[in-house]
Amino acid sequence: MALLEIRDVTRHFGDYTAVDHVSISIEAGEFFTLLGPSGCGKTTLLRMIAGFDLPDSGQILLDGEDMVGTPPEKRPVHTVFQTYALFPHMTVADNIAFPLRMAGKPPQEIRARVTEALDDVRLPSFANRFPHELSGGQKQRVALARGLVNRPRLLLLDEPLGALDAKLREEMQIELINLQKEIGITFVFVTHAQDEALALSHRIAVMNRGNVEQIDEPSKIYGFPRNRFVADFIGKISMMDAQVMEAAPSHLKLDIGELGEVITAGKEGVKPGDKGVMAIRPEQVRISHPSNGAQLKNHFLGTVHDFLYIGDVTTYIVELSNGTHIEALLPNSAPGRATFFEVGDLVGVSWRHDAGIFLHD
Amino acid sequence: MSRSTRWLWSAAILAYAFLYIPLAIVVMYSFNDSRLNAEWVGFTLFWYEALLNNKEMLLAARNSLIIALSASFSATLLGTMAGLAIHRYKLKVLPVLVFTPVAMPEILLGVSLLLFFLQVLNLTLGMISIIIAHTTFCIGFVAVIVRARLQGMDESIFEAARDLGASPWQTFRLITLPLIMPAVVAGALMSFTLSIDDFVITFFTKGVGEPILPIQIYTMIKVAVTPEVNAVSTLLMLLTLIMIIIAGKLEARNMEAAGGEAGK
């Protein structure tokens, strides 16, 4: 039985449907992420799990027990808020002790567990500080310690890294992964940052306009997006209109406008005549001098339209003969050289027969 | 000092002189060994002694203190509740109901309360009617201050308390109340000072019985401005000053604990 089971949950705000018949089940010990753009319903869903909001219909089961009707303080679920929500008039130790005090634990036990929790988040000497004396990252850790100290069944994290700068964010991501692994508590993480979701999660539910578009492991979400929304939202991807000519279990043959034939990976439920797009990730596209690899399948000529030098890699935008643009990523492996190709250069682009994905309209 | 800063300084000094010289004169003449507020003769505590023997004045002071304490207590209680309710329930009519008495001309409030007490409640005018009247106009002030403080706070703090296992009542006692305490105390002190020197509403709702301080002072001045009035005014000033200092200290201590963040 799943630890948390969200069954057909719907929530309206007036005419607006924030969450639309969503069903998700989360296993014990999982690091599960709700990912989506703002307004996709992920925060509403989180608030319903915490008990701050109630579904209009559907059930939220924790350990098989329906939580609807149980107030937030009675749910074995704690939340780490985006603003951290530390109590400003209490010390760090009192903040962390709060859930233990509310649970009626004896004072000695509270003291021991607060000390332990401070060690867990690497802030052993901060017990007597007040929240305003802490940096953003330290507040974040105190909020985490407070959420974890009473060992909830489920820890909800509402964009907890949103307010941190890039470097600190990466540090905290690694810490979060380790902490979750050590403590073994199930995390439900909400974010709109796809890189964060990919880096942290065991599984991701991609949400859009109140619906779940896909639930999968990060590599599946990235490598095999189920539809155009997921493909577009996660990472970079080039798309071109395509029609299916031939559909075999091992491969598809697509007709791409004036470009010609493209072979992609096989996919269930696709039949000849279907319309959609051929999608390909920039790192899957090989860019080379036009003469190289001309004998290969999926090889096309184009001119460099633009490029973006990022440091470790350069992204080239190549205009193909039919006028569509395709992105190709090239690592800058040669020292001291920013680009291998210049704008206007004639180049060849190619990709493996199983690298492209066909997505229905 | 440049020309413009010199000009600003003199303007500031003039403005403060205008505010404080009359007060200083009252204090000074309360120690003047003369019946006339005209020239300085010599130092005396005679007028304070006279005040202590003035039974009527002492009774008025006692009455006023009782009224101010009861009215500020009940206004703080009700005003805090009103401030919380206005903040929590975004009902449009609520703030109008609570804040209107603050903006209403006192004379109007006085007349309407008088009619209400006599014709609707059938109340005999006296201490009770004055306390109710003072409470009525102080509630709005407390509610404004409390709501202002709540508006500046991160709402998720209260959700966090519930989330971590606190019942609504525990959340109020352990989180909400300590965080709004500076506003509650400020509201209480403000109510006290508003109540102790209120003339208009007191005049309408006092009836004929007990003497009340501001009205007693007024009655004395009708005869002549005696140094006794100066003495009682000086004491009143001292009381107000002490309250302001206490309020300042409390606020500073609370802000230190809250790290100035509760107000953000």
ipTM of the modeled complex: 0.82
A159, A82 Cβ separation under 8 angstroms: yes
- For B156, the closest of A83, A98, A146 (CB atoms) is A83
Element housing A52 (H / E): none
Residue with tokens 């949103």: A162
> What is the mean predicted confidence (pLDDT) over A76-89?
92
Q: Which residues of A touch B262 (CB under 8 A)?
A: 88-89
Rounded Cα distance between A290 and B180, Å, is 72
Strands A299-309 and A357-360, sheet pairing: unpaired
Which pLDDT tens digit goes with each residue over B32-80?
Answer: 887 776 777 788 888 888 888 888 888 888 888 999 999 999 999 999 9
pLDDT recorded at residue B259: 46
A138, A126 Cβ separation under 8 angstroms: yes
Residues 6+ apart with CB under 8 A from B239: B196
> What is the mean predicted confidence (pLDDT) over B81-91?
88
Which pLDDT tens digit goes with each residue over A95-118?
Answer: 999 999 999 999 999 999 999 999
Q: Which residues of B touch A80 (CB under 8 A)?
A: none
Which pLDDT tens digit goes with each residue over B243-253?
Answer: 888 877 766 66
Q: How many CB pairs under 8 A join A and B?
A: 76
pLDDT recorded at residue A48: 94
E strand intervals along chain B:
none
Please work out, in degrees rounded to the nearest 5, the angle formed at the alpha carbon of residue B92 by the alpha carbons of B89 and B98.
85
Q: How confident is the model at residue B261 (pLDDT cuts 50, 70, 90)?
A: very low
> What is the mean predicted confidence (pLDDT) over B158-187?
92
Mean pLDDT of chain A: 89
C-alpha distances in angstroms, B255 versus A130, B149, B261? 12, 12, 8
**Of B154, B163, B169, B176, which to mutate for an interface test with A (greatest number of A Cβ within 10 Å)?**
B163
pLDDT recorded at residue B260: 43
CATH superfamily of A4-229: P-loop containing nucleotide triphosphate hydrolases (3.40.50.300)
Q: What is the assigned CATH class of domain B47-258?
A: mainly alpha
> What is the mean predicted confidence (pLDDT) over A81-88?
92
Rounded Cα distance between B135 and B68, Å, is 9
On the question of pLDDT at B262 being above 60, the answer is no
Lowest mean pLDDT among A159-168, A193-202, A209-218, A277-286: A159-168
Domain A236-360 has CATH 3.65.10.10: no
Q: Mark yes or no for CB contact A132/B259 under 8 Å.
A: yes
Map out the domains of chain A as residue ranges. 4-229, 236-360
Q: What is the pTM of this model?
A: 0.80
Dihedral in degrees, nearest 10, Cα atoms A142, A146, A147, A153: 140
A285, A327 Cβ separation under 8 angstroms: yes
On the question of pLDDT at A183 being above 60, the answer is yes
Kindly report the number of other CB atoms within 10 A of residue A81's CB atom: 22
pLDDT recorded at residue B263: 37
Q: How confident is the model at residue B116 (pLDDT cuts 50, 70, 90)?
A: confident
Residue A201, Ramachandran bin (φ over 0: left; ψ between -120 and 50: alpha; else beta): beta
Rounded Cα distance between A193 and A187, Å, is 17
Sheet holding A154-158, edge to edge: A77-80, A154-158, A186-191, A31-35, A203-208, A211-216
CA of B167 to nearest chain A CA: how many angstroms apart? Answer: 6
A279, A302 Cβ separation under 8 angstroms: no
Which pLDDT tens digit goes with each residue over A25-70?
Answer: 999 999 999 999 988 999 999 999 999 999 999 999 999 889 888 9
Rounded Cα distance between B153 and B17, Å, is 39
Q: Mark yes or no for CB contact A78/B154 under 8 Å.
A: no
Q: Which residues of A touch B163 (CB under 8 A)?
A: 50-52, 72-73, 77-79
Angle between the N-to-C axes of helices B213-223 and B55-88, in degrees from 0 to 180, rounded to the nearest 10: 140
- For A72, the closest of B157, B162, B170 (CB atoms) is B162
- Residue A297 φ then ψ, to 5°: -75, 165
Alpha helix (H) ranges present in chain A? 42-50, 92-102, 107-120, 136-148, 166-183, 194-200, 218-223, 228-233
Q: Which two tokens stand for residue B123?
A: 């109340």
Residues 6+ apart with CB under 8 A from A144: A80, A121, A160, A176, A179
Secondary structure (H, E, C), B13-61: HHHHHHHHHHHHHHHHHHCECCCCCCCCCCECCHHHHHHHHCHHHHHHH
Count how many Cα atoms sit within 13 Å of the Cα of residue A292 in the half-sphere of its side chain: 10
Helix (H, G, I), strand (E, B) or coil at A317: strand
> What is the mean predicted confidence (pLDDT) over A223-250?
89
Rounded Cα distance between A129 and B140, Å, is 37
Rounded Cα distance between A20 and B76, Å, is 46
What is the b/e burial string over B185-208, where b = at least 16 CB atoms within 10 angstroms of the residue's CB?
Answer: bbbbbbbbbbbbebeebbbbbbbe
pLDDT recorded at residue A336: 66
Q: Which residues of A touch B260 (CB under 8 A)?
A: 132
Q: Mark yes or no for CB contact A99/B165 under 8 Å.
A: yes
Mean pLDDT of chain B: 84
For residue B96, give the amino acid letter: V
Interface of chain A against chain B, CB under 8 Å? 50-52, 71-73, 77-79, 81-83, 85-89, 98-99, 102-103, 130-133, 146-147, 150
Q: Which residues of B touch A89 (CB under 8 A)?
A: 178-179, 254, 257-258, 262
For residue A131, give the amino acid letter: P
> What is the mean predicted confidence (pLDDT) over B98-102?
82
Residue A159, Ramachandran bin (φ over 0: left; ψ between -120 and 50: alpha; else beta): left
Map out the domains of chain B as residue ranges. 47-258
